[in-house]
Structures are given as C-alpha cells and as structure tokens.
Amino acid sequence: MQTTPRSPLVRSIYGGSLVPVLIVVAALALSTAIFFLFTQKKMQAQKEAAKVEAATNSAPSKTAAAPAKPAASAVPSTPPPVVKPPAPPQPAPPAFAFARPLDLGRQLVRSLTTGDFAAAGKLAAASDADQSASAAKLFQQLAAMGYKPAAEDQVELLGLVENRTRIALPFMMPGSKDTVRIQLDLERDEKMGWKVAKATLPKAMSSAIAAAPATPPAVPAPSTPGAPVPAPAAAKAAVPMKQLFAVEDGTDALAFASDFVHHLLKHDFTAARAFVDDKKVSVERLVGLCIVFEEGQYALNPAKPLIITIANPEVSWVIAQVQSESLQTNTEFGVELKRADIAQPWKIVGLNLSDILSSFAKSASKLGVPYTPIVKNPKGGESLALYFEYDRAELHPRALKQLEVISALMKADPSKKLRIAGHTDEIGRDDYNIRLSRGRAEAVKQQLAALGVPAAQVETTGMGKAQPLSPNKKSDGTDDPEGRSHNRRAEIYLDF
C-alpha cells in the first residue's frame, strides 16, 4: 500500500521535535495575560481621571473644591481656573437731571417752598454729595431767619461767565417786600445735566453759612480684613474743602452789571445812576437808554441775557442782549466797568449804544418820524432829541413818552434845570424858521409844565436852521428828505 507524504511540521511532530512550537504558544499566552493585567487597567484609570477633571471644571460652585490627588499611575490633571472676586457695586445714577439751567433753579425753589430741605440740600450739592447735609442745614437756617423763596417763575437767568451759566433765586426779606438773590453758577455734566458748582449768598444771609459749616467727607472702613486702615477723620478734615457756598464780596462784575440793567429796564433812572461814573457817562445817555427801554418795551433775552466778554480784576466788558416783542427785534448794548483796585466798587464808565439805537431807529422810522433819542450836539456833547413832522410844532406821541421820563427826574429834584433848543430844516425863510423853532421848544416846555415841572426849571430858545444834525441835500445837490427829517427837532440839555 502506498502512503501519502507528510509535511515537515508533521514529520517534526511525529518525529519528536515539539519543543519549539510549545515555546511560541507560551509566549503568545504570556503577552495576552500582561495586556489584560497591566496595560488595559492603566488605560481605564486614565479615562476615569479625565472624567473627574471635566466634572470638576463644569460644575458651578461658590467655593472652589480642593483638587483630588491622582493615583500614582494617573496622568496629573490641569489646575482649576482662578475664580475672580465679584466687582464692587456701581453707585446709583442721580435721581435728577436737568436739561436747562432754569429747570434746576425752579426745582430747588419748589423743594424750599414745601420745606423739603433734605431734597434741596441734595440738589444744591449734587456736584459734591459730602456737602448735601450742610446745604440742607443752610437752607433750614435761612427759613428760620425768615427768608422765603419767591415764586418759581421769578427764577432768572443772569448770564454767562467763563464756562458757567449763572441763575438767581429770589428770596423775600424778613418783614419786607424787598428781595435778595442767591446766585448759582451751574456747570454742564454729560451724565446728569446741569449741576451747581458754586452758590453765592448776599451779605444779609452770611450768618446762615456760619450756622451750617461744611461737612468733611466720611472715612470708609477697611473693606477686607488686613487691609490698611484709612487716615483718621481729623487728618481728612484738616484738608481744606472746596466751599460750595460763599458770601458776596462785591467784586463780581456780572452781578453788578445785572443789577444796573435791571434798574434800567424798570426805568428807575435814580437807582441806575448810582452805578455810573458821571464823569464818564453823560446823564443824557443814561436817560436816553431809559427812554428806549420804555418806548420799545425791551426785556432781557431769556436765553442769553448777559455775557462777560472781558473779565479782568479792574476792567470788565458785559454785553446785554435784549429783545422787543412790540418791535419784533433782538439787539444788544455794551457796558464797560472799571475800578481803581479790587478793594473798590465797580463803576459803569461806558455804554456802547450804537446797536440798540440803530435797531430802535429803524423800527421807529416806519411811523414817518425819526426816533433817535440820543444825539451828538454839533457843538459837542450829547442831548436828548424829540422830532417833529414837516412844518409842525405839535408833539408827536413818541415825544410824549420821552417827556414823561424827563419830568419824573425834574420833579424829584427842584434844583435841576434843563434847556430846550428848537431846530428846523433849511426849507423856508430864516425868520419863519426862527419862529417855528421857538414854537417847537415852547411846545416841549408846555408839556413838561402839564406834567408838573415848574416853569422856572426850563429855559427855551429857537435856533432855526443854523445847527443841522444831517445834510439837507445829497452830495449831488438834490434834496435829502431823510436828512431834513433829522433836523426838525427839539434838543434837551439836562443840567444835572
């Protein structure tokens, strides 16, 4: 029988060479055992550690947990992030904000009228909250002294000085109908609108400041244990505080000019004259301005009444902006102030009336009669002028208003005298113009007598055509009706 040939492996097995095969099998079995006993266990531990780290980082907690110690065989995990302390609370926004300066002043008056001194103090000290308590005490002290705020619609805008806007709060004086004003300088704040930067009290209220001294800022306690302790309160109080309230010392040019203009607007010549240097500003100029204000019914521009253009210790210029509803015009005039030194009071030494007189003359010319109450006399100086229609000696209604102002001045002091000179244009014979000019001067005297001025205080003369204010003819020789209208006049010279 034929037998199939065997492979070498079979021959080796059957032939007794099995040892090498067993060694290979044993090596494979040992490798598998090592994998399951060590390597797989290590990989599982790493997975578990990663899960713990992820859970620790994602879980919310107010206090950070201490990291667990990893197994000796585990890979060290990254430390948890540092938790930042919460931000300190932001201060609450202000409870008030004012778009216009007058709104602030009126709200302050409302608080004072109702006796809410705490609210008034906070409002006045919005720029420095540490002084709100002392401001409240000051207002309370003023009330105890008998001062009462006037109506809120009497709060007025005084004007602009540097980068501040000034308003005035009127107060009734105890036992009197007179008023005094607290002046507030306001600054514009981008976040809270207008706020008080400085308050100036009249001297009559000075004792109220002594009764309500400024309160030093409170010293905060240390926020965290171990923090440095702030300086003691005594050391803080030793640092001079910026005083919110001050007493008027008579050195403020804007306040001086404001009082002067207010007297003019009330046509109070006597009070206004006390502000003026008589050697620099003629009486005729001052009276003429009173006449313009009365006739034109001018009032200060409520948006920008007074503006300081030059502010030096001894020289200041103020522009007064006025408006007239009856004439539908806005115009201005300049006020020049001077003093010898800062210890001396201010005096009005100049009035630039060119703009207001020009505007007033244009408006008045529509009625057919010129109306420039202050003119430069051909022989020098200034005088008051009243104008007449052609070939007439009757007073125009506008002249009657002027004479009412003048008569009040004359009756106040019987020692005062005035001179009246009548004038004509060049049309007509000389003898006729002399009679007409005298008639015009006498018409003025008669009206003053009707207003109560004694005849002994008035002198008259007729000048005819001898002293024209304007040319009667144009440069080409033709007639100039407008020029002639300025020559038909009576001039008043005040001997004050």
What confidence category does residue 329 fall into, taking pLDDT thresholds of 50, 70 and 90?
confident
Q: Give me the pLDDT at residue 438, please.
A: 96
How would residue 47 be classed by pLDDT, with cut points 50, 70 and 90?
Answer: low
Pairing of strands 374-376, 382-387: antiparallel
Phi and psi at residue 353, in whole multiples of 5°? -105, 10
- pLDDT value at residue 114: 95
Determine the pLDDT at residue 228. Answer: 58
> Taking a C-beta distance cutoff of 8 angstroms, is the pair 495, 459 a contact?
no
Model pLDDT, residue 441: 96
Q: Write down the pTM of the prediction.
A: 0.63
Q: What is the largest distance, in Å, between two alpha-carbon atoms of the chain?
A: 189
Pick from 318, 317, 315: which is nearest to 341 by CA?
Answer: 315
Task: Read off the pLDDT band of 407 (50, 70, 90).
Answer: confident
Output 270 or 201, whichever has higher pLDDT: 201
Facing residues of 194 across strands?
188
**pLDDT reported for residue 239:** 40
How would you class 52 by CB atoms within 10 Å of its CB: exposed for 0-12, middle for 13-18, buried for 19 or more?
middle
**What's the pLDDT band for 171 if we cut at 50, 70, 90?**
very high
Of the spans 125-134, 264-273, 373-382, which averages the highest pLDDT?
125-134
Q: How many helices (H) and strands (E) does the chain have?
A: 15, 16
Residue 15 above 70 pLDDT? no
What are the backbone dihedrals phi and psi of residue 5, each rounded to the nearest 5 degrees, phi first? -70, 145
Closest to 396 in 3D by CA, of 359, 371, 413: 371
pLDDT computed for residue 10 by the predictor: 45
- Where do the domains of the chain lie, and which CATH numbers do they carry? 101-214+243-247 (3.10.450), 253-364 (3.10.450.50), 368-495 (3.30.1330.60)
Average pLDDT (406-425) is 87
**251 and 342 Cβ atoms separated by less than 8 Å:** yes
Q: Residue 414 above 90 pLDDT?
A: no
Pick from 462, 442, 440: nearest CA to 450: 442
**pLDDT, the chain, mean:** 79
pLDDT attached to residue 358 = 81
Q: Quote the Cα angle for 420-426-430, to 5°.
A: 75
Confidence of residue 14 (pLDDT cuts 50, 70, 90): very low
What are the pLDDT digits (tens) for 350-370?
999 888 888 877 776 655 555
Beta-strand relationship, 193-201 and 245-247? parallel
Q: CB-based contacts of 157: which residues, under 8 Å, 6+ apart?
A: 101, 102, 165, 166, 167, 302, 303, 305
* Count of positions (residues) in the chain: 496
pLDDT at 452 over 70: yes
Confidence of residue 165 (pLDDT cuts 50, 70, 90): very high
Q: What tens digit of pLDDT does each residue of 263-300 get?
A: 888 878 888 989 999 889 988 888 888 888 887 888 88
